[in-house]
Amino acid sequence: MKLKLERRAAPSALVSGATPVLAVIATMIAGGVMFWALGANPAEAIRIIFWDPLFGDFASYTRGQLLIKAGPLILIAIGLSLGFKAGIWNIGAEGQYIIGAVVGAGVGLAFYPTESRLIFPLMVLAGAFGGWAWAMIPALLKTRLGTNEILVSLMLVYVAQNILASMSTGLLRNPDGMGFPGSRNIARDFPAAANPELIAGTGIHWGVVAALIAVIFAYVLMTRHRMGFQIRLAGEAPKAARFGGVRPRRLILFTLGMGGALAGLAGLFEVAGPAGQISIDFNSGYGFTAIIVAFLGRLHPLGILLAGLLMALTYIGGELAQTMIGMPAAAIQLFQGMLLFFLLAMDVFANYRIRLGRTEVKA
């Protein structure tokens, strides 16, 4: 007797939808073992991470945090999913996020202390442009010269981090900050440029609104628009795509550009709202976690919406677990990595049938 894999003619939609749920359960079990190894009560730790942020003692505060964290994750993941679906691997969203924040905040701060309704919309445009432009570097190198976009986009994350450090100690440093690194606090001291909470206590700011719009936009694009069809075709059947008149260059420029613009937007909303200012440690890895969100959401807009909320939950739950039972911050990062592993491993059930079969001997 031997286990055999038999390829399905088309991936099973049912299993494909069920795997994220199974992966989350598997991660909870494996994570429980990890928490136990760290000396925590596994059931308590899982409860603190997944239940308490929504219904625990501090829920009135943590519920608001949920959307604050989910907003940028969803916004970035939607952009990434377009490229991933077409087999274009932008893994430098973290860099595009940083540059979007720097450019957007820079434009806003240039007008300080002018009060005008036009400043914030201008910053939004600038943030999207910054992320877009940063993503155009790997995109143009890929379309003009065939340079590998994975490595270039990733290398640019490190460059962006250095630019961020340079900006927060140099060009954008708060002139009234007594020499401390970091820009003026936009959220606190510059109302015309701030991205405030729109409904008190909910955590909803313009970035969350933008994330929802992006979900709808991506859904319409992927199901109703020619570009969405081309993206899916290029990812699933590259050869057929070429014969079907899909122009790969346009696809690369579009998906990388969208990914960059949305990541840049996420950065701008973050710097003008929850983070408040440009500082050396402004970025917190959303660009990388969004990769997990995109896959966990099966590269589908609605899936990404749910996955973003779930991942935000683990962030907040992780912080709670840190303060309540002293769980190390890195444990939650490991937990998220584990989730992606389980998810990818379980994809086998969507793409293949598992057969228990004898090894046949043919005469």
Partner 1 sequence: MQIMIFGQIDLILLLASLMVASTPILLAALGELVVEKAGVLNLGVEGMMITGAVVGFAVGVNTQSPAVGFLAAALAGALLSLLFGLITQYLKSNQVATGLALTLFGLGLSSLLGKPYEGVKAATLGKMHLPFLSDIPVLGPILFRHDPMVYLSILAVVAVWAFLTYTRPGLILRAVGENHEAAHALGYKVVRVRLLAILFGGAMAGLGGAYVSLVRVPQWTEGMTAGAGWIALAIVVFASWRPLRVLIGAYLFGGVSVLQLNLQAAGVAIPVEYLSSSPYLVTILVLVIISLRGQHGAPGSLGRIFHASS
Closest contact distance (angstroms) between CB of 331 and partner 1 is 6
Binding track, positions 320-339, relative to partner 1; x by CB under 8 A: --------xxxxxxxxxxx-
- Give yes or no for residue 5 binding partner 1 (CB under 8 A): yes
How many residues bind partner 1 (CB under 8 A)? The answer is 45
- Give yes or no for residue 179 binding partner 1 (CB under 8 A): no
Q: Which is nearer to partner 1, 74 or 346 (CB)?
A: 346
Binding track, positions 280-309, relative to partner 1; x by CB under 8 A: --------x--xx--x--------------
Dist. CA 285–CA 161, nearest whole Å: 11
Query: Which of 170, 226, 356, 358 touches partner 1 by CB under 8 A?
Result: 170
Binding track, positions 137-166, relative to partner 1; x by CB under 8 A: ----x---xxxx-xxx-xxx-xx--xx-xx
- Give yes or no for residue 1 binding partner 1 (CB under 8 A): no
- Torsion, CA 139, CA 135, CA 316, CA 34, rounded to 10: 40
Closest contact distance (angstroms) between CB of 336 and partner 1 is 7
Closest contact distance (angstroms) between CB of 187 and partner 1 is 25
Q: Which is nearer to partner 1, 38 or 59 (CB)?
A: 38
Closest contact distance (angstroms) between CB of 34 and partner 1 is 9
Residues that bind partner 1 (CB under 8 A): 5, 7, 89, 91, 141, 145-148, 150-152, 154-156, 158-159, 162-163, 165-166, 170, 288, 291-292, 295, 328-338, 340-341, 344-345, 347-348, 351-352
